[in-house]
Structure 1
């Protein structure tokens, strides 16, 4: 009886992420400048908020009816800290440290579950490659929650007494609008159209098959991982070319341009102009955008609660041939995203998912979510990281990158900014996309082309 008093039911979203078809583990890669001190990392964990948060100190257990609960337990940090003293080059060959780390993360993304006899997180120390891999089950929380927790373990490089600050902290994720009658009508119309499409995607509506298409079972296929590197200054230069554009608009312009270029290389004769490829994007539904104050996340009365608080948006991109104006990709992306932001698609998808989970159970919700992924082409997420250079255990961080367990999509993209850089991890099913480095180069070149076009336009 004592255990049952302490047990806490999983949230509907947490239960969804434990289903076989939709299980998800977030793998966050933190590169460091100096050799890793395992004792220092252990001391950081022991002193961090991480061991005070109930989700990180609880086992996932099931009752006699198969319903999942969190049960508090003592945490043995040594069981969660996995140290690789020897180089992984024996397994992956004589390639660069970055490529070895990407190969390792790609392998983790397929069939590498977390043990349920301890809380659902691990930290892998790749000593020879100066990389710390944080593995966190999505049932513990979403990307915003988990990145906020991770950064609470870090300190600012210029002031070791201070935690990092995040872009967007304290700003509203949904800016206030003047609700004219015309705006209200557009909100209603766009919401109806997009929610209807969302439901049809869960039933039968699907993208046309291309060389980028995944499908049922593809989540079990071997993966490759490559990193696209962007300078935020370049993205800001492009953003200025179009009034009221955002970094997300630029990102989707880059994706559209880069994927169009890649399709020109792989299948130039098989595609029609304007072909739609649909992406699934997760949208933070908290009152504040960006990373969160960890103390508020742990306060259930703050309104900025811990957990999985996001909705899904379906974001289409359209293929255009290689001679298209680079800035036209940005204009099209902004027009599409403005309509999506005006709608209530993300909150409605969250409510629909919660309703299905609560009324029909996790199994049906998992089936519908899986079908949406099978009927679309890619996943994209963008998390805004810290402004300043940071340290972990006194060791300066050189990059922050994130990826996740593989999905039915053949291509999954996660972008994280850090300082003035933004790295996007591009995870692909290597039997379908054997050359992710080419795809990554298409993205990087797309941003540079858009930057050159924006600078040229500014001079005229």
Structure 2
């Protein structure tokens, strides 16, 4: 009788346990294991008790996945199976030597992030953990690092968790507010489109069809065989498989969001166009200076051979795009409040603007080229079509095909950018003011990855650089200079050299 009752309970659990989506399976597979690290540097120290309270009252209730593991049922279907969870087992408190300077602790924090970035989650436990670093950094009194498997959800899923427990640091009784960024066409734009001449409509439709056809062919080739050549930022892949979770250095630059918007307005671009142009210009500076460094060290011929300089003109960027835009979300508030948990992201491939063998090129040209490339991408139906394409491929060809598509999307391209838009005010996490907030991603078969966050009228751009391959000291100097040169080119010497616009934080 008892055994029958237990079997019935188990059957009911299998029936009610939600299946793991094909994308989530791919994000936690043997060939791709993407992990998100959300870092909060707090102005005041937070206790383990407060951390446990957050996990109990805010994290676990959000979704069954936080108290579940992936397990196949009797029918071979991979599902989220609920398990008993001890929150204390998910909090890790590292120990550093006492009596060091803030600079030393900041360096140890970066090394610690790199260390946990090389470690996957233990089997038999839900795919998340919290690391509480009780030592000061250059930006805070202590640091909380939330480590999530990307299989649990995407950036906007996790944003909902944090923003529900975060308030305004200046006025705790008031909720955080977000930029009123429009994510779809406004009614005015739609009305304008209706009164456009039929000839222009036809040309616009033809342009969309051409761009969509091109993107379908390019994406198909990219995930099948089309591969970027080796370059200063792209490792020369061979048949030997490399570890996905490899040690990396972390570096970030924080700039005034208002200055970025001024560049955007000046060039008629978007903030994303400016960021992509900036990344291209950083990589351009690094490529040219790395080439020069190798030529000085090994001679011109051997230096160029080691550099694989042809790769500098053919680099592809993976741009992570939130597909909630295509599902009716009109603005950021809609996206954050929406109950659509999970991975609602897609990948767009974009050529990085390149001006080879010319370090003195106008940095604004990179933004202008980036805008042109992204405008063409926006006038394409590839992104809305990609998700149903993946679902169809999985249904017809199996999960391994989806895993391979995801892996090759990253492996065959040169680098990746992901961005999140945060609140306009300074956040307070469990009543502790947040001095700095950013996130990074590991487990991607690329040697550099970029993430950006806008919050509290600041733009934070973070790069992870593979140790042993990327010259992190050279790259970070190029990163700092890229921001300075962009602002100087846009506004001239007086404004370009404005004080305290660039706040640096080295690893």
Q: TM-score, normalised by structure 2?
A: 0.81
Shift of the 156–13 alpha-carbon distance from structure 1 to 2, 3 Å rule, reads same
Q: Could you tell me which residue of structure 1 aligns to residue 291 of structure 2?
A: 267
Contact 1:276 1:317 in 2 (8 A): yes
Instruction: Kindly indicate which of the two structures has a greater share of residues assigned to helix.
Output: 2
**How far is the alpha carbon of 1:403 from its aligned partner?**
0.8
The match for 1:219 among 244, 256, 264 is 244
1:206 matched residue in structure 2: 227
**Of 376-385 and 150-159, the range deviating more from structure 2:** 150-159
> SS in structure 2 opposite 1:202?
helix
- Per-residue CA distance 1:437-458 (angstroms, 9 max, x = gap): 4323322322221212211499
Equivalent in the alignment of 2:385: 348
Contact 1:399 1:418 in 2 (8 A): no
Q: Tell me, which stretches of 5 or more residues in structure 1 are unaligned?
A: 299-304
Cross-structure match for 2:341: 306
Counterpart selection for 1:81 from 59, 84, 91:
91
Corresponding position of 2:490: 454
**CA-to-partner distance for each residue in 1:362-417, whole Å, 9 max, x for gaps?**
21211222122221100111111121111112211111111122311111111112
Q: C-alpha separation between the residues in 2 aligned to 1:115 and 1:93?
A: 33
Provide the residue aligned with 1:251 in structure 2.
Answer: 275
After superposition, the Cα gap between the structure-2 partners of 1:168 and 1:411, relative to the gap in structure 1 and judged at 3 Å, is: farther
- Which residue does the alignment assign to 1:134? 146
CA 113–377 in structure 1, closer or farther in 2 if over 3 Å, else same: same
Give the aligned partner of residue 299 of structure 2: none
TM-score in terms of structure 1 length: 0.89
Task: Map 1:172-183 to 2 at 5 A.
Answer: 172-173=183-184, 178=193, 180-183=201-204
Query: Which residue pairs with 1:301 in the alignment?
Result: none
Distance across 2 between alignment mates of 1:440 and 1:192: 38
From the CA coordinates, give the structure whose radius of gyration is larger: 2
> Which residue in the other structure is 2:178 paired with?
166
Task: Establish whether residue 297 from structure 1 lines up as the match of residue 309 from structure 2.
Answer: no
Relative to structure 1, the CA distance from residue 422 to residue 117 in structure 2 (aligned partners, 3 Å threshold; closer, same or farther) is same
Aligned to 2:6: none
Deviation string 1:260-315 (CA, Å, 9 cap, x unpaired) is: 000011114563697121011110111337755688433xxxxxx11111211001
Q: Which residue of 1 aligns with 2:122?
A: 115
| C-alpha displacement of 1:32 | 0.3
1:219-246 deviation per Cα after TM superposition (whole angstroms, max 9, x unaligned):
2433222223332122112112212x11
SS in structure 2 at match of 1:103:
helix
Q: Which moved more, 1:139-148 or 1:263-272?
A: 263-272
Moved more, 318-327 or 43-52: 43-52
Q: 2:198 matched to which residue of 1? A: none
Cα contact 1:6–1:72 (8 A) shared by 2: no
Q: Secondary structure, in 3 states, of the residue corresponding to 2:481?
A: helix
- 1:73-120 deviation digits (Å, cap 9, x = unpaired): 444322222223x32689x9995333322222222222x122342322
Query: Relative to structure 1, is the Cα distance of residues 61 and 161 closer, same or farther in structure 2, using a 3 angstrom cutoff?
Result: farther
The 1:228–1:174 alpha-carbon spacing in structure 2 relative to 1, beyond 3 Å, is farther
CA distance in 2, matches of 1:70, 1:39: 28
Partners of 2:312 and 2:444 in 1: how far apart? 26
Count how many residue pairs are aligned between Structure 1 and Structure 2: 447
- Give, in whole Å, the separation in 2 of the partners of 1:290 and 1:223: 35
What per-residue deviation string (whole Å, max 9, x for no partner) do you get for residues 124-146 of structure 1?
A: 11112410001111111111111
Among 83, 96, 105, the alignment partner of 2:104 is 96
Corresponding residue for residue 81 of structure 2: 71
Sort the Cα spacing of 1:387 and 1:65 in 2 relative to 1 into closer, same or farther, 3 A: same
Larger displacement relative to structure 2 (178-187 or 200-209): 178-187
1:333: how far off? 0.8
Q: How far apart, CA to CA, are the structure 2 residues paired with 1:61 and 1:432?
A: 37
Residue 131 of structure 2 corresponds to: 124
Aligned to 1:284: 322
8 Å contact from structure 2 (residues 157, 336) kept in 1: no
Contact 2:58–2:161 (Cα < 8 Å) also in 1: no
Note if contact 1:166-1:387 (Cα within 8 Å) is conserved in structure 2. Answer: yes
Choose the corresponding residue for 1:106, options 104, 114, 132: 114
Distance of aligned partners of 1:52 and 1:193 in 2 relative to their CA distance in 1, 3 Å threshold:
closer
Cα distance change on mapping 1:164 and 1:240 into 2, 3 Å: same
> Residues 425 and 40 (structure 1 numbering): CA distance in 2 closer, same or farther, change over 3 Å?
same
Cα distance 1:419–1:2, how it changes in 2: closer, same or farther (>3 A)? same
Q: Give the CA deviation at 1:335.
A: 0.6
2:451 corresponding residue in structure 1: 414
Contact 1:60–1:69, Cα closer than 8 Å, also in 2: yes
Q: Secondary structure at the match of 2:423?
A: coil
- How far 1:358 sits from its partner (Å)? 2.3
Task: Give me the whole-angstrom Cα distance separating, in 2, the residues matched to 1:24 and 1:310.
Answer: 13
| Residue equivalent to 1:302 | none
- TM-superposed CA distance for 1:256, in Å, is 1.2
Asked if 2 retains the 8 angstrom alpha-carbon contact of 1:45 and 1:153, the reply is no
What secondary structure, in the 3-state scheme, does the structure 2 residue paired with 1:332 have?
helix
**For residues 14 and 93 of structure 1, do their structure 2 counterparts lie closer, same or farther at Cα, with a shift above 3 Å needed?**
farther
Aligned-partner SS, 2:46: coil
Match of 2:212 in 1: 191
